[in-house]
Amino acid sequence: MTDVTNIEAIGHALRQGERSLTVTGLRGSSSAMVLARLAAETRRTLFCVVANDQSGASLEQDLALFTDTAVQLYPAYDIPPYTPLSPDRNTIANRLAALYALFTAETPRIFITSAEALLYRVMPRQTLAHLAELLIRGEEIEPANLTGRLVRLGYEPAAMVQSVGDFSVRGGIVDIFSPGFEAPLRLDFFGDTVESLRLFDPISQRSIQELDEAILLPAHECLYSATDSPMAAELLDRFDRCGAELGWKHENTGRLEEQLRGRHHFPGIEFFLPLFHRSLASTLDYAPRDAV
């Protein structure tokens, strides 16, 4: 381990292949200043672990003063594990968007997360890559097929799109609020052709920005149709074996089994993620190999 006391020494140590550094003397926003300089000098993705989400949000604000490098926040779940509640939909969406950006971004970024957020295993990187859908203006898509895919990706139908994970269909218009976007997408169809693709304000319904293409991400990690998810019978068998190993009583598992059999996204399903994938990954598995 190497002790360093100035930014130049940090950059030099990293370029020499040093893997473990101790940096001392940082106070207040000086951490953000150091990270900004490192991002500029190394041109590599920086993986920053802070105490909690509040510290991460504060660091993000400080970084805005020192750098134009993209900053990605990866939050922890906002509820205790194994409670009959699901995390806020925005939290789920922000986690998925951050994971996808971590391994697909063409330019380095500063990735901020907490120790708590890293505790949870996630869907395999190759699964998320396969589930991401590229929408292109001018392409041919049957609207009925698109809405079917949205349901399989965990989206919920709504009269009007208001929250991330919603979609709605009105005639030849399909609205989708995908993770990774600050506003929902609107696809205008002429027959089966995507005539226009744009972001819009869900309150005023006015267009914000025309797009040539957009990446549609899944709205959940627990997907019954994920490429590596067990078939329904196998999923239920795994659930029964898990319950037996943990000594769960049948009256406590019967309702959950009914929800799984019906392929519902019930409150707290996120904590049963291992049932939906043959293997799970660490958030670190998504990071570029040269990340710091």
The amino acid occupying position 124 is: P
| Residue 136 confidence (pLDDT) | 96
Q: Are the beta carbons of 16 and 36 closer than 8 angstroms?
A: no
The amino acid occupying position 155 is: Y
Give CATH for domain 2-124: 3.40.50.11180
| Residue 272 confidence (pLDDT) | 84
CB atoms within 10 A of CB 190: 9
Q: Where in the chain is the domain with CATH 3.40.50.11180?
A: 2-124
Residue that has been written with the tokens 């598995």 in this structure: 285
Query: How confident is the model over 209-264, as pLDDT tens digits?
Result: 999 999 999 999 999 876 666 666 677 777 777 767 766 666 667 777 788 888 88
Q: Are the beta carbons of 43 and 109 closer than 8 angstroms?
A: no
Q: Coil, strand, or helix at residue 282?
A: coil
| Residue 8 confidence (pLDDT) | 74
| Residue 89 confidence (pLDDT) | 94
CA distance 144 to 258: 28
Q: Where in the chain is the domain with CATH 3.30.2060.10?
A: 133-216
Right CATH for 133-216 from 3.40.50.2300, 3.30.2060.10, 1.10.150.120, 3.30.360.10: 3.30.2060.10
Query: How confident is the model over 188-211, as pLDDT tens digits?
Result: 999 999 999 999 999 999 999 999
| Residue 78 confidence (pLDDT) | 86
User: Which residue numbers in the chain have pLDDT < 70?
Assistant: 1-6, 19-21, 226-233, 243, 246-252
Total-model pTM: 0.88
In order of 144, 148, 149, the CA distances from 168 in angstroms are 12, 12, 13
Q: Which residues of 64-91 are buried (b: 16+ CB within 10 A; e: fewer)?
A: eebbebebbbbbbbebeeeeeebbebeb
